[in-house]
Amino acid sequence: MKRLFASPDLFMPAANPIRMPRQPPARRGSMLLEVIVSAGMLGTLLVTINQTLVQLQRQTRFADRQFVARQTLENLLEEFTHRSWSELNGPSVDKLTLPEWAQAKLPAARLVGEVAEESDPVPAKRITLWLGWQNGPGVKQKPCALTTWVYQPLELAP
């Protein structure tokens, strides 16, 4: 005959404690190893993210300085070319100065200009401005250059 009731051992937990099965010896300490490996991977990830953010900041600063340099050159060249034909010469281009806002954005900025007279095919003056600066201590940036030609007005033509 089959028993329909549970055995008396199930109703006596104090007398029969439940035991956890033992893990094989190869798994002991593996949790600690997994935590250490995870911490190493997290550290590597954080270092990589930090380096990426630093490079992004450098590139943003570089692009900002390039933009400021180009805008400054465009403004100075436009201002200079609105002078009369006789005032477009080397000594007057040497008197050009950088605005304060550009000097603040471009460390150790240096502005150099040149006026060259050309006569072929028509009388003209080629005006070139270079603007260089330092990106860091001892790291000079390749200068930005902008060139334009101003043609002699018809009333002054020979």
Domain ranges within the chain, ordered by starting residue: 24-156
Kindly report whether the global pTM for this prediction surpasses the value 0.75.
no
Gap between the Cα atoms of 34 and 38, Å rounded: 6
In this prediction, what percent of the chain has a pLDDT beyond 70? 80
Q: Give 70's pLDDT tier (boundaries 50, 70, 90).
A: very high
Q: How confident is the model at residue 6 (pLDDT cuts 50, 70, 90)?
A: low
Taking CA atoms, 51 is separated from 40, 62, 137, in Å, by 17, 16, 20
Count CB atoms within 10 A of the CB of residue 81: 13
State the pLDDT at residue 32.
86
